[in-house]
Structure 1
């Protein structure tokens, strides 16, 4: 049996936020595998991008952002995004010697006696002074419940299970969800010869505003107001609207991106909408998003009475040794790199003030105001 290993900082997850955090930890002097470790459940680099459907090309993908100090460059926009990003992340890990350990699945993070957090994995135990959790959302797809769902005779699948629009040529497909994945599915399915219908809870709101850094920071502020109060975070789409690209405008003009309104129930042969209209369907594609993958943190009891996790920047208020990136304001690629940096710098500042007491088991962690002076 492998003995428990001690580490200053453990980063869980090697997607955009996790690699950003690892880069800044290394840049500020921590040594991979002795000062910090990166644990990733995937078989190879790429984070959630490695699982994206084959027909999602780089040119049609949203939210691929550069990692720190390593531009993506100009890959072929016709290449699958999963291939491009996996290759890019792998090159990044090699360039900066981040030594990601994989596949390592974290089963549980707990608070044993003493100040270190205990990280139980399928390959051993780590004892960390601080943990940066960057596990994202891909492992926790959200399936809504509707009356008649068990009676539907066709196929039901989630974004996570989608592979190729060509699989549904000639079929009647109802896409449920109001995010960019739903838009991409509808256009690709239509092009592949499927008969599509679209259901959203609210009328789609498109915007021509460019998704630039200033706009992104405004969105993050709106989302962070809820997480600071311990409330469940808003989805990024709820705070941003949908980008009105030329491709999406054409889809609207062609009638492909026209919502039938809220879904009320399913029938054996299809769906009923709020206005009483119906649609026959062979397939229901639930493009209903994901929730933060935090099951391994359950024993820490982080949630507030309001249902969310109260945050101070990337730091969990109830447990100052834990930083969450990919939760709340950093739940999209818009803020993931910046959140990884913020978490790494906060952890490094906290390491400088690390102290233990057999009487109090206290951990000295700077608050968000004092951390700003160290960034």
Structure 2
């Protein structure tokens, strides 16, 4: 018999659930599947709240030119392999279809669209949480697994002149197609795989590009395998255990010096022209091209691929030497005209709805337990897709850990309440971010 709450989630509002999972990406789906596998019941004990209109998590918003073959690190969800889809198909479609099939196969209790505004908790440490949506719906629960990822928190660093630039500015999150920039010169800012793929994709569409990175690109020839994933997780965990904010993705993983990238470097295309100093109303000042707009700074590990022939193929940038006031004492600064700035500068964890719980430390991060998912100062709250579990490989593992920990916590608080040792107090109001 069909549970009516599956089609009428408002009826859940008065229930006290065991676990609410916020987010239906890789980590959230993994957690939900493990919760049900562990004996908790869909809808009666567990619900998954997803802000999207359909399956796929953040992947459903990726641009069509990002094919499955170009995407890095799409890992299997537990119990249902992805298989071998066409690598030329857009990753957004593949992952949305895969996640949707996963939700159906395991009858996951996903409610969408639900934009979570805040998470509240009773005054006592083991009190019941209240998860409130922006539309007024609420779910009461003994534990929360937060799996909201980063897509809703794009990061754009501040540079002098950013307010005066007269051209278009957009972030990775806003990108749709290279054809949008026909006839324009695009400054791509950022040192991650998205930035590198933008440079290649725009060039294929005939769009002139300039690539700027804050430091030498972090190229690495280490294979992106399970061993690499574990090393990255250990590096990031060392920070989150101390309450420091996680590094950017590329700082933790590096750029894979493989596949399409070495030929693009040797062609003179995929060459960073140095750090951005400032923007002007009509362009950008870069520290690196030198007085003739032709020089290139170090490309890190990719320097081994660059010889005189490559240097000769690197395009001379149009423009002129930067005025001293704009160059900020950079002797090799070059002022290049650009029409568009594409900020491929990454994301931050989407945790605004948790702001009222005051989890942040002076270092900007959240102190995590040794398991990588437990929030040290907030019993009953578990983060997946944060820190070491931000990759899809790490997210799957973290989902399993969080499911087990959340189920244990919910069971323990239920037992205490039944025994009369933990009577939850009325929830206090916590404002959304």
Judge same fold: TM > 0.5, yes or no. Answer: yes
- The DSSP-based 3-state class of the residue aligned with 1:85 is helix
Judged with a 3 Å threshold, the aligned counterparts in structure 2 of structure 1 residues 299 and 202 are, in CA distance, closer, same or farther, namely same
| Matched positions, count | 362
Show structure 2 runs of 5+ residues with no match.
1-9, 288-331, 425-433
**Larger Cα-atom Rg:** 2
Show structure 1 runs of 5+ residues with no match.
363-375
| Contact kept? 2:46, 2:109, Cα under 8 Å | no
Specify which of 317, 335, 345 is matched with residue 376 of structure 2.
317
Specify which of 125, 130, 146 is matched with residue 118 of structure 1.
130
CA positional deviation for 1:112: 2.8
Task: Say whether residues 1:155 and 2:168 are aligned partners.
Answer: yes
Kindly report which structure 2 residues correspond to 1:278-317, keeping only aligned pairs within 5 A, or say none. Answer: 278-312=335-369, 313-317=372-376
| Contact kept? 1:21, 1:341, Cα under 8 Å | yes
Task: Say whether residues 1:218 and 2:231 are aligned partners.
Answer: yes
Specify which of 284, 287, 306 is matched with residue 271 of structure 1.
284
The separation in 1 between residues aligned to 2:274 and 2:379, in whole angstroms, is 43
Equivalent residue number for residue 207 of structure 1: 220
CA positional deviation for 1:320: 1.7
Q: TM-score, normalised by structure 2?
A: 0.81
Q: CA RMSD in A?
A: 1.6
Question: CA offsets, 1:69-112, max 9 Å, x none?
Answer: 11111111111111110000000000000021000111100113
Equivalent residue number for residue 337 of structure 1: 396
CA positional deviation for 1:349: 2.4
The separation in 1 between residues aligned to 2:391 and 2:423, in whole angstroms, is 35
Specify which of 72, 81, 90 is matched with residue 71 of structure 1.
81
Of 12-21 and 60-69, deviating more is 60-69
| Contact kept? 1:104, 1:123, Cα under 8 Å | no
CA positional deviation for 1:242: 0.5
Equivalent residue number for residue 183 of structure 2: 170
Q: TM-score, normalised by structure 1?
A: 0.93
- The DSSP-based 3-state class of the residue aligned with 2:279 is strand
The separation in 1 between residues aligned to 2:355 and 2:263, in whole angstroms, is 45
Question: CA offsets, 1:136-190, max 9 Å, x none?
Answer: 1111100111111121111100000000112212210000001100011000001
CA positional deviation for 1:358: 7.4
| Contact kept? 1:219, 1:236, Cα under 8 Å | no
